[in-house]
A and B are shown apart, each in its own frame.
Chain A
Amino acid sequence: MTATQSLLFVLLAPLCSAAVIALFLRRFGKLASYVSVATAGLIFVAALNALHAAGGETIHDSWLWLSFGDFHVSMGVFLDDVSATMLLMVTFVGFLIHVFSLGYMADDSSPARYFGGLSIFMFSMLGIVLADNLIMIFVFWELVGFSSYMLIGHYMSKPAAAAAQKKAFIVNRIGDLGFVVGIAYAYWHLGTTDLEAMGNIIGADSSLISAGIAALLMCGFIGKSAQFPLHVWLPDAMAGPTPVSALIHAATMVAAGGYFLIRIVYLFPPEVLSIITWLGVFGAVYAGFCAYARKDIKQILAYSTLSQLGYIGAAFGLGYPGIALFHLITHAFFKALLFLGAGSVIRGCHHEQNIFKMGGLWKKMPITAFTFLIGILALCGVYGLSGYFSKDAILIAAGFENAPVSYLLTFGALLTAGYMGRLFWVVFLGKPNSEAASHAKESPITMVVPLIVLAVLSVVGGWLGYWPDVIGGSIRADKAELHHLAGYDAMHNKIVILGTLAWVIGLVASFFFYGRGAKEDRLEKMAAPVYGFLKNRLWFDEIYDFYVAKIQQRVAVAFSFIDNFIIKGVLVRGSAGVVAVVGMCSRSLHVGGIHTYVYWFLGGMILLWALGAGLIG
């Protein structure tokens, strides 16, 4: 198969799988799960084949999809170095999470709906990865939004899940409004939405860069990647099944926002980049604090994801898209690992999610615990693990470009180590704190194998030297650029020392503060106001609720009054009323007696005569 054929296979196979499951396999959950997992495996192989066939060349093929006069919309595949890197990560991590789901969802009541959803998600996500123009990205962007909606609400009988799926969808719409306006603006301004063509146009004449387009397109990123101020949907999205949280809300979909920015990096002027940097820095630190006041294991990981997405945004904003991509990839490995580990723990504890009711799981679930520890160390940026390389590069870049950002992000790393340490010490050490935890058993092999593979990747995923040549070119380029800056060695040493201090202090302090297998949160006991403050997450949900309930609702009531009273009442009902009155009057003339009509006739004659004689009118 040629590269293009392989890529089309990669894109369309999950769609076929979803269609087959939706049409024929709804009642055959087991079969549906095998179809979905087999497809996920096949697309990984096909993606490898495509990269092999392309041999490092850029592949760009597109086909006309719609035509309105002069306006043509095409669908196409655009495989360059960045999308190749992303493609490999998405297909591989996706495949592992599909395998994990086999075990996790084994006793679910509707596995066909779940695996069908995973397939449609893979289709949508790969569409974003391979898309060659903004309109196609937008189409698939909305499709991932839909599949996210569908999978968050998988446990549809739970009201929290139904509310969370709606929230995720609606909050994303806000960002997407900016996105779609940005696409129209870009088309109007540049005459094309093709990624490669736009790049060439901007490359030839950099005065065409427009802050408006960049800021509007950035809105899409803010919504999908849950950046401040649209971050509120991501923690709630944890109501979905845990593998979904791993796949969609940690490894791939939320990272798609960052990937999208990297695809259109040439459109961004410095002002918009600095907005993205500061949003990212704020998100990274803010989410780090919020995680301390969460007791649900998945919520803690969700805030950790928000924080890491902040790092990705900050790296992009600092002008190093390659390093943002690097952190995106390593984050996908260790965060997928952590979420799957959490899934394994939750399943082991019979769907208990409160970390203070766990404890002592190291002995009960040794493989899960060990891989989880590796995930935590990678996330904290321990020297030599994948997270170290990417986070270190971000901190160095920040050190050169913007010192305050560098210090804030290092502080974020300290927070990260603290809350991840809290999570680990409380869940895995000490003694079981509940009946469920004391009966925990290691998970089945379909769940353990993905954990081990991801743990290996979390260790070696950052060793760029061992990456195949066809992927990661932009990462190497950005790394090399950093290396050649004057004072690199001094900065590198400083960051390594600060970064190492951050994770050591974070882990050790949380160990002594929270203790092994704690039954309750010591911060909550010792400093309830602080805990309460953190728990309220700066009241963003409350502010949005207030806005919706008190401001937007009032405006809606005013408009509803205009609609109901003026348009419906006065204009529509009013004109109907006038006609009805006229009808009523003329009906009363109609009495049915011939003599009356003669009198009317006579009256009419007199009226005409009077008019003719000029007596009236």
Chain B
Amino acid sequence: MTVGLNAIILVSGLLFAIGMLGVLLRKNTLVIYMSLELMLNAVNLALVAFSRYNGTMDGNLFVFFIITVAAAEVAVGLAIIVALYRKRQSVMVDNLNAMSR
């Protein structure tokens, strides 16, 4: 059984929306971070789906780049969050508003 393009794009859109809402609404930096990753993966899914639908490799190629960059970004981002926690004893965004004070 093959799943149609529309269904995959719908899943991808849902994943992106969940990630977006997570970034906008959640207070924990780690959760926001995971939501960001979710949005990246939603985009990956869409790219792979289009690639398959069109029968070209362009989308797949992009996905590899995105996964690589995302891996590097996760390493840096998590390091920043750890450093932040050490300094502030908190990763809640409400407490991370030093620039407005």
Which residues of A does B touch, CB under 8 Å?
590-595, 598-599
Contacts and interface: CB of A to CB of B under 8 A. Distances in A.
A493 B93 CA distance: 117
B97 A592 contact: yes
B87 interface: no
A592 B99 contact: yes
B99 A590 contact: yes
6 contacts: A590-B100, A592-B97, A593-B94, A593-B100, A595-B24, A598-B23
B93 A594 contact: yes
B98 interface: yes
Nearest to A599: B24
A592 to B, nearest CB: 2
Contacts of A593: 93-94, 97, 100
A592 B98 contact: yes
Contacts of A598: 23-24
B17 to A, nearest CB: 13
Interface of B: 23-24, 32, 93-94, 96-101
A598 to B, nearest CB: 6
Contacts of A590: 99-100
A382 B98 CA distance: 100
The main secondary structure of chain B at its interface with chain A is helix
A598 B39 CA distance: 14
A593 B96 CA distance: 7
A262 to B, nearest CB: 81
Given A590-B99, A592-B98, A594-B32, 15 more contacts: A590-B100, A591-B97, A591-B100, A592-B97, A592-B100, A592-B101, A593-B93, A593-B97, A593-B100, A594-B93, A594-B96, A595-B24, A598-B23, A598-B24, A599-B24
B30 to A, nearest CB: 13
Nearest to A594: B93
Nearest to A591: B100
Which 3 pairs of residues, A with B, have the shortest CB-CB distance? A592-B100, A592-B97, A592-B99
Nearest to B101: A592
Nearest to B98: A592
B22 to A, nearest CB: 11
A594 B98 CA distance: 11
Nearest to B100: A592
Contacts of B23: 598
A271 B24 CA distance: 94
A594 B24 CA distance: 9
B41 to A, nearest CB: 19
B93 A595 contact: yes
Nearest to B97: A592
B15 to A, nearest CB: 18
A590 B99 CA distance: 8
A594 B32 CA distance: 10
Nearest to B27: A595
A592 B100 CA distance: 4
B28 to A, nearest CB: 11
A590 B101 CA distance: 10
Contacts of A591: 97, 100
A595 B96 CA distance: 11
A595 B24 CA distance: 6
